[in-house]
Structure formats: C-alpha cells, structure tokens
Amino acid sequence: MTVTGSVSASSLGMVLPHEHLFADTLREYRSTGLLDDENIASNALHGYREAGGGTIIDVTSNELGRRPEALRRLSELTGVHIVMGCGHYRDPYLDRKFFDEHRSIDIADRIIGEIGEGFGDTGVRPGVIGEIGADRSVISAAEERSLRAAGIAQRETGLAISLHAARSTVGRDMLEVLDSEGVPRDRVILGHLDTVRDSEFILEAARSGVMLEFDGFISTNEYETTRDIGSVVALIEAGYEHQILISHDAFLTSHYPEFGGPGLTRILEDIVPRLREAGVSSTQLDLILRTNPQRVLALT
Ligand SMILES: [Zn+2]
C-alpha cells in the first residue's frame, strides 16, 4: 500500500525502508531545524530515482509531523513509490495524558481505522506501522501501551511493524510485548541495530526470524560506516541474508544535500560498491535492497 494506492510488491524496485521526508524533531535537535521543505524532499527523491531507486518507506509516525498529502504530491511528482507509516513514536514525544486515558485497544482502533480508510479525509493509507519506539533501555508505560496498540493493529491488518529500538537491548523487551499480542516475528523490523553494540543480542533476534535493519547509513563518519558494513557482512556470513534491511534514516535538514548531507543516494552510490568489495554478491544485494523489503511490505 503506497500513498497513491496499492501496487504489486514486485513493482516497488529498490526500497529504502527507514527514511523521513518531513520530520519535526525540534524537541531533541533544536539547532538543526524542522524538516518540512517539499523542494528538498522532491530533489532528494528525483536524485534517488535517477540513481536507480524505486520506493521509500517514510516511517514518520504521528508525533513527528506526518504530511500524508505532501507525500502523495511528492510521489506523483517524482515517480518514487512512497509507503507511509502510522502509529505512535516514543517518549518524550508521546502525549502522556492521551496514553493514560486510552486503552491499547482504543488506540489500536484508531490506527486500524486509518489503515482501512486513510489519514483524516485525505484517503492516504499507511503501508507500514511505525516507527514505534522506546526511548530508553526500559519501555515506558505510555510506550508499552502504544506498542500493544501497534501489535493489535498488526494482527488485524497484516501490516508489518517498524521498531525504533536504539542504543540498548530494549528491542528484546519490545519483541516480547509484541509476542504477547500474537505478532509473528517475521512481520517485525528491528530498527537502528547499528546503534546497538551487542552482537549476541542481534544474533538472538536473527535466530527468532525478525527483520534486521541497519539504518544509520546517513552518517559519513568513516568509523561508523566501516563498522556497519562489517555488521551486515557478518550477518550475511551467518546465514541471515533473507532478514537484512539497510537505509539512511535521514531526519534532519543537515542530512540532505542542500545543507551538506549525502541525501538519499548514499547507499546506491557509496555503500553498495563497498558491500561488493567486502564480498557481498549481486544476488545477496538484490535480497537486501529489493526482495526482503518487498516481502515485508506485501500483504497476502
Ligand atoms: Zn528512529
């Protein structure tokens, strides 16, 4: 399900599974400014398309300032398929009062309604649930309620869930919450794994069948790039090539070329050649860039 309607998964081409064309991250990144410029987004999408890209998943969840109609305009203008996220982000962005006063099932009902009918009166329907997050190493009460709502919505609609589980092994607890809601592990993307420095945890998640997402490739820090390529290669060598996803996670103006950043073409122009050099085959690259994300987005 894209912002312009449903298409066959195989027509999506290459997919970037974790990006933000618009994002209100001012609460945490005050100096960098609000990402809300349709020209910047359109230039980035044109560049991505010219470099060989097909689809982006915009995992901008509710509290980050989703703009469904702008996403639809951009997709029509650039020819790039855009898949929109839904659901609730994480602390400190969550409205505590709202989560205190609503049951998970009620929050889920709103998400399910939007997946079926579209956002507000725009008719733009989400194609993924997320990103759904936990800010710290322990899931907060509001975050757990949001996560359960996402799980209920997953069971009802079949859409995959994209998780923000950064810097700690909180993803383990998040997966257990989703288990208790009956969500199959292969319908969950464990995001921001590049920030989780615990290879045992990552292998444990891999064995459980979850999708493994390394989405920090907007960083041009050479240490981080080398480390993340190494992590991807190690997981391929361990036999998990069918579960790996890679993306940039552009969410600041400074990530886009107008402000000196690499934009949405870095993976195609810089990371793919380096993965090849590291011994990753064309078949394996095809899985990571196309087949794996297409399978996650497909609704049977
Ligand atoms: Zn995130």
Question: What is the CATH number that goes with domain 9-297?
Answer: 3.20.20.140
pLDDT value at residue 25 = 82
Domain boundaries, the chain: 9-297
Q: Please give the distance, rounded to the nearest whole angstrom, from the Cα atom of residue 223 to the centre of ligand 1.
A: 21
Instruction: Tell whether pTM > 0.95.
Output: yes
Report, as an integer, the average pLDDT of 111-127.
98
- 267 CA to middle of ligand 1, Å? 18
- pLDDT band at 57; cut points 50, 70, 90: very high
Return the percentage of the chain with pLDDT > 90, whole number. Answer: 94
Distance of CA 287 from the midpoint of ligand 1 (Å)? 23
CA of 192 to the centre of ligand 1 (A): 7
Q: Which of 18-22, 33-37, 70-74, 211-215 has the lowest mean pLDDT?
A: 33-37
Alpha-helix runs per DSSP H in 66-213: 68-78, 96-101, 104-117, 141-157, 170-180, 199-207
C-alpha of residue 157 to centroid of ligand 1, in Å: 23
The overall average pLDDT reported for the chain is 96
Ligand 1 centroid distance, CA of 200 (Å) = 22
Percent of the chain with pLDDT over 70: 99
Conformational region of residue 298, where left means phi above 0, alpha means psi within -120 to 50, and beta covers everything else: beta
Place of tokens 């009902």: 109
Q: Quick one: tokens of 140?
A: 């907060």
Q: What are the CA-CA distances from residue 125 to residues 16, 115, 252, 263, 290 (Å)?
A: 19, 5, 25, 26, 22
Determine the distance separating the centroid of ligand 1 and the alpha carbon of 205, expressed in angstroms: 18
Distance 62 CA to ligand 1 centre (A): 13
pLDDT digits (tens, 9 = 90+) for 254-280: 999 999 999 999 999 999 999 999 999
Task: Examine the pLDDT at 30 and tell me if it is beyond 80.
Answer: no
Residue 60 alpha carbon to ligand 1 centre in Å? 9
Query: How is residue 278 written in tokens?
Result: 């590291």
Q: So what's the pLDDT on residue 99?
A: 98
Strand partners, 213: 245
For residues 3 and 75, the answer to whether their CB atoms sit within 8 Å is yes
Report whether pLDDT(32) > 90.
no
Residues 99 and 135: their CA atoms lie apart, in Å, by 16
